[in-house]
A and B are shown apart, each in its own frame.
Chain A
Amino acid sequence: MINFIIQLSLFFIILSLISQFLGKYMANVFEGNIYGWLKPLHTLEGFVYKIFKIEASKEMSWIDYLIGVLVFNAIGFLVLFLTLIFQAYLPLNQYHIKNMSWDLALNTAVSFVTNTNWQAYSGESAATYFSQMTGLALQNFLSAATGIAVATALIRGFVRKTTIYIGNFYVDFTRSILYVLLPLSIIASLILISQGIIQNFSSYIKADLLIPFKDSIKEITNQIIPMGPVASQEAIKLLGTNGGGFFNANSAHPFENPTAFSNLFEAFLIILIPASLFFTFGYMVKDKRQGWFLYIVSLVILISFMVIQYYYELKGNPILKHLGVKNTYPIGKELRFGLSGSSIFTTITTTTSCGAVNTMHDSLTPIGGLIPMSLMALGEIIFGGVGSGLYGMISMVIVAVFIAGLMIGRTPEYLNKKIEAKEMWSSVIITLIAGITALLLSAMALITKSGISSIENPGPHGLSEILYAYISAANNNGSAFGGLNANTVFYNITTALAMLIGRFFPIGAVLYMAGSLANKKLIPPSAGTLPTHTPVFGIWLAFIILIVGLLTFLPAFSLGPILEQMLMLKGVLF
């Protein structure tokens, strides 16, 4: 318990300190105020524009910006898709990994382009080094940069007035990579390597077992230990809230997450950019309180969920307790990290849209598993994905402002911009589409044979498995509950669909809103303006966030995890 409190406090104090600086730094970078000491990178930036013939000074309307995003992502998807289905013929394939099937390749390519990193394959046996490095790791950068760029465009919508221009996608994108993602990844990789993460192109190692054992057919005397360029991919997997592990076990694998320190450090990397972007937002709209406000509301919600999760895991499974097992809570967790390290990592990876895991969520207690599921179901806006978290949260604020604004007798406004029909359309699409998609697709899976046949456990637990998969995919999280055999044509296609809808509908809506906002006048604030940085509004915002989540998912959750918890207390397990 003490351990948990210390880890938690230390974690968030450091996060609060560092994310402010990073936030300010990013604000300056996106506004084009490049620091003097960044001169070499600035030269490189100019060089990039020259090669790709980008007119950096040319601004885009929202529709041009959107076309930029879509075309760029479509190309990224195609390249990755082709790489995966032809990976056997491409270099760096010492282990003779086969080409991916079309549906798995489709799913994987969509998954990495949409910043989801849902993995229906297992990295060590289904992807070559070449695929991992050039395809997957590259998309980790590109999808993250896309998210940041779109969020920046939205912020500009608030700052600017009566213009149709919201920035240049290629510039925002290039800057996110050059000044933010790349330098941070390099630093993070070095720190991770210091903790023992591997970085090599070696063949897989065959090792003799210390104690051979016999399975049903024959004696097992050795094991294959996969190798690879892990560290370079690990940092961006976390920083970009991607979450696609090099290995199937993801951050539970000792080569991806070797020590208790690396565990906290990884959790920190996951949440760093989403947290900083709140401050970037505050700096760019020239009202730092707005950034702090979103940060604090998110923090309070996250910590509450974290504590609940910790509490239920600590209580553990009463049935095992009755059987005399003392410490029931290590189930499904790495002993290296303990309960605290697991609870913190699990909630952080699901509150952001990362989806890297250091714990098998499937093995958590029912309520312990409900927490990560709920954090995703809230729409990945409590910090959320890089960029996507910020624009998701802003949309939620707009919904909250709309109703609260009416209650003070003004047509609602946020950050001096009037909220009207266009903003409402965008906001409801951004905040509701993932939930709708998850509900519809999970309904389809629950009533079809191809859906149910992938379930490993019957009853409410199986229901949770399906639900988790679609909530994770539609919200672009990408973590898996486990227990569900997701590499089937049915799941590959439906989860890919969920990921695409969950990613690009909101992006379109965000840019549409950015265009509409940029075109509006700025309304001078007065005593009659709803203050959007006060505790009262914070409570209201939290209420709206929770009630939207609750109204959308309460029936599903009550027949899944809640029912399972009740049954567990009665001694029924699945």
Chain B
Amino acid sequence: MKKKDTSLFDKKILKEAFINSFKKLSPLELLRNPVMLSVEIGAVITTLYAIFDIISKVKYAWFSVNISIWLWFTVLFSNFAESIAESRGKVRASSLRESKSNLMAKKLESKTSKEYTLVSANSLRKGDMFLMEKDDIIPIDGELIDGVLLINESAVTGESAPVVREAGTDKSSITAGTKIVSGTAIAIASVNAGETFIDKMISLVEGAKRRKTPNEMALDILLISLTVVFIVVVINFRALSYYTVNSIHKGSVVSLVVLISLFVCLAPTTIAALLPAIGIAGMDRLFKRNVIALSGKAIEAAGDVNVLLLDKTGTITYGDRQAHDLLPVEGVSKEELAKVAYVSSIGDTTAEGKSILAFTKENYKIDYTPNSYKLMEFNASTRLSGVDIENDIYRKGSFDAMIKFIKSLNGEIPKDLESIVSKVAKEGGTPLVVSKNSKIYGVVYLKDIIKPGIKERFKDLRKAGIKTIMITGDNSLTAATIAAEAGVDDFLAEAKPEDKLSLIRKYQEEGYMVAMTGDGTNDAPALAQSDVAVAMNAGTQAAKEAANMIDLDNDPSKLLDIVETGKEILITRGAITTFSIANDIAKYFVIIPASMSNSYKELNVLNILHLSHAHLAILAAVIFNAVVIPMLIPLALKGVKYRPMDAQTLLVKNLTIYGVGGIIFPFVGIYVIYLMLELIWRGL
């Protein structure tokens, strides 16, 4: 997928959406959206009326013609909203399709066979083995069983920095359509051709398999019921009018065209028109953030999540520990320690080493490059690293390893070393002991660095009623320190996969909705158990299968974005529903007095906008009802922005904007449209 921004008014998208909005006029398509189907039926009836009126040259034929046109527009606008949401996905899907077209696979008979046969990727079945070499494009999703590959996954993630995939690790899965930069490996297909991740993405983004979510179904029930009520209201209105006219022998019974106009204006067309678009656009927004939701239901569940299980590493802290402080032993100054620490890290490529260099350089202005040195890389038997410069040996390592090393040199262990080390450990840091020759200078305090802004984010989440729980393999002392610093509500230290699973179960039994991220095979049971499960794309196939969302960027902190997107979808639905219903008040006050104006002028008291021309007033209401749909398309697609806050404040805010606004806005809108119509009318 190209990360090219498919902006709202991309020409190609608009064109496709335009064509599709006509295709979707088919009643069979509209069955999914009964409210709009009822509008279409209304449009058909008014159109027949209009034709009849034209043929029989009725005075008010222009009225039924115009109403018909705008009713058709109402349906078309609704279709357009849905199509535009879908076509944004379709454009992406077609670029995905390109990436997997005409792939060939080097199929192997067995793991050991030397010869491969070149076959089309479309013929691969689950369990087939194939060979991959430099510059090949991976033909099908699979699991490496032998070898290491460097892969460019930009076709899927849009990220061009290559990633490593290695057999026998947690990062052994490969995705069809991605390109091998270097390496040779053998993989086993984990799916059948046509069922790959890219295929799934294509069908997801095209919306082909989109099912209504439980919440959409519940909302549909409300909208359909309101529609039924308004059909009944209109039937009743006809009877009322019939009775009234016969009772005073004055005026005429409201026409079917007026009744249908009234019905369409009252029916919750605005929300019904935009409802499918809101859901599709939500998935699309996640997709833009490189998260693939495998169902709409999962996104909706994300909005409801009230417990987040967050991996410490990658989400709360950067993966690596960094130098935080220098603690010299007695008799050594900080500057001396800084110098030794700096030299011992020269040439060290680990993140810790680099951070020591940066830390001492910044705080103690040490900048020193020896002419020649011998790098002693970290070695599993001594568990030390450092450099030798001429005859001096600089070393750094853990407390145990360093004591062993110094003792072997018959050096002395400073008395206060142990207390310094244990103080650092107690604070949740990692102590790194530094020495020059046989003398220990002190300790570098390495610390997990918490991502900036994460604390504030957790605070916001707490306001929104979401608990955050940190999961870490650290001991509980370290975990507690970091948990306190990051401001999470709770933590699970020395976490084993079983612990995660039982923690999830415990919360779920209490009624909580739990979300988590994971990548390893051992995460799979917990992923399968949690309500929202985000697997890293680099993770194993098992993890991906257990999850209901996949993050292509492998960034565990995305979980927070996902929760917010879930909420945005629900808020958008609620906001437009409120707006749609609140709009009805104005429409009533326009149409009722207008439609009865020829029997009882007295009802003009309801005509608060003082629209003197009855037909124009009704037409203005119908036009308003239609144009409000395209006006709200951007809102439906972008979603109402969510910022975590407590429920009450959020409700007040949205009620004011969409409720109060929804009452006032149509009065203004209809009035303006009426004035324009009146201008045109006078001009004619």
Contacts and interface: CB of A to CB of B under 8 A. Distances in A.
- To the question of whether A and B form a pair in one complex, the answer is yes
A551 B303 CA distance: 32
B222 A536 contact: no
A524 B512 CA distance: 7
A524 B229 contact: no
A79 interface: no
Contact of A570 (B219, B221, B571, B602): B602
B228 interface: yes
Interface string A426-466: 00100010011001101110110000100000111011000
Contacts of A407: 571, 574-575, 578, 650-651, 654-655, 658
A406 B573 CA distance: 7
A80 interface: no
B5 interface: no
Interface residues of B, number: 75
B423 to A, nearest CB: 37
Interface of B is mostly: helix
B585 interface: yes
Interface string A384-419: 000000000000000100111111111100001001
Interface in A512-553: 521-524, 526-531, 534, 536-537, 540, 543, 547, 550-552
A556 interface: yes
Given A440-B236, A536-B648, A452 B243 contact: yes
Most-contacted residue by chain B among A416, A526, A567 (CB, 10 A) = A526
Interface stretch (A51-59, A335-343, A499-507, A558-566): A558-566
A419 B648 contact: no
Interface in B625-664: 642, 646-648, 650-652, 654-655, 658-659
Contact of B605 (A405, A423, A555, A566): A566
A463 B582 CA distance: 28
Contacts of B229: 432, 435-436, 551-552
A287 interface: no
Interface stretch (B195-203, B436-444, B459-467): B459-467
A409 B222 contact: no
B213 to A, nearest CB: 9
Given A428-B221, A462-B247, A536-B655, A404 B574 contact: yes
Interface in A243-291: none
B511 A406 contact: no
B647 A521 contact: no
B239 A547 contact: no
B567 A409 contact: yes
B585 A547 contact: yes
Nearest to B591: A555
Interface of A is mostly: helix
A563 B462 contact: no
Contact of A410 (B225, B238, B304, B655): B304
A204 interface: no
A446 B242 contact: yes
B405 interface: no
A436 B605 CA distance: 27
A521 B464 contact: no
A259 to B, nearest CB: 41
A61 B264 CA distance: 41
Nearest to B248: A459
Contacts of A463: 240, 243-244, 247
B588 interface: yes
Nearest to B262: A555
B647 A528 contact: yes
Interface string B214-232: 1101110110011011101
A325 interface: no
A532 to B, nearest CB: 10
Interface in A305-333: none
A526 B578 contact: no
A410 B239 contact: no
A547 B581 contact: yes
B568 A528 contact: no
Nearest to B602: A566
B584 interface: yes
A538 B243 CA distance: 39
B266 interface: yes
Contact of A554 (B304, B306, B588, B605): B588
B592 A555 contact: yes
Nearest to A555: B237
Given A436-B228, A528-B466, A555-B237, A550 B585 contact: yes
A93 to B, nearest CB: 41
Interface in B153-168: none
B574 A446 contact: no
Nearest to A539: B655
Contacts of A529: 465, 647
Most-contacted residue by chain A among B300, B462, B578 (CB, 10 A) = B578
B117 to A, nearest CB: 52
A527 B647 contact: yes
Contacts, number: 211
A495 B466 CA distance: 52
Interface residues of A, number: 65
Contacts of B463: 527
B247 A458 contact: yes
A462 B603 CA distance: 17
A558 B647 contact: no
Nearest to B575: A407
Contact of A447 (B221, B243, B510, B577): B243
Nearest to B461: A528
A410 B240 contact: no
A524 B566 CA distance: 20
A409 B577 contact: no
A563 B603 contact: yes
A420 B238 contact: no
B462 A405 contact: no
B306 A528 contact: yes
B235 interface: yes
B232 A527 contact: no
Contacts of B33: none
Given A409-B642, A411-B215, A458-B247, A559 B651 contact: no
A19 to B, nearest CB: 28
Contacts of B466: 526, 528
A447 B306 contact: no
Contact of B647 (A419, A439, A530, A563): A530
Nearest to B605: A566
A424 interface: yes
Contacts of A459: 244, 247-248
B577 A403 contact: yes
A411 B214 contact: yes
Contact of B244 (A406, A432, A460): A460
A537 B218 contact: no
B239 A446 contact: yes
Nearest to A543: B659
Contacts of B602: 563, 566-567, 570
Contacts of A551: 226, 229-230, 233, 266, 581, 584, 588
Interface of B: 214-215, 217-219, 221-222, 225-226, 228-230, 232-233, 235-244, 247-248, 266, 300, 303-304, 306, 462-467, 510-513, 566-568, 570-571, 573-575, 577-578, 581-582, 584-585, 588, 592-593, 596, 600, 602-603, 605-606, 642, 646-648, 650-652, 654-655, 658-659
9 contacts: A406-B577, A409-B571, A411-B303, A447-B243, A527-B463, A527-B647, A547-B584, A558-B603, A559-B600
Interface of A: 399, 402-411, 416, 419-421, 423-425, 428, 432, 435-436, 439-440, 442-444, 446-447, 452, 458-460, 462-463, 521-524, 526-531, 534, 536-537, 540, 543, 547, 550-552, 554-556, 558-560, 562-563, 566-567, 570
Q: Please name the 8 residue pairs, one residue from A and one from B, whose CB atoms are nearest each other, closest first.
A: A528-B465, A406-B574, A409-B567, A526-B465, A443-B239, A407-B574, A566-B602, A527-B465
Given A547-B584, A563-B600, 10 more contacts: A402-B218, A404-B655, A407-B574, A428-B221, A447-B243, A459-B247, A463-B243, A463-B244, A555-B240, A558-B593
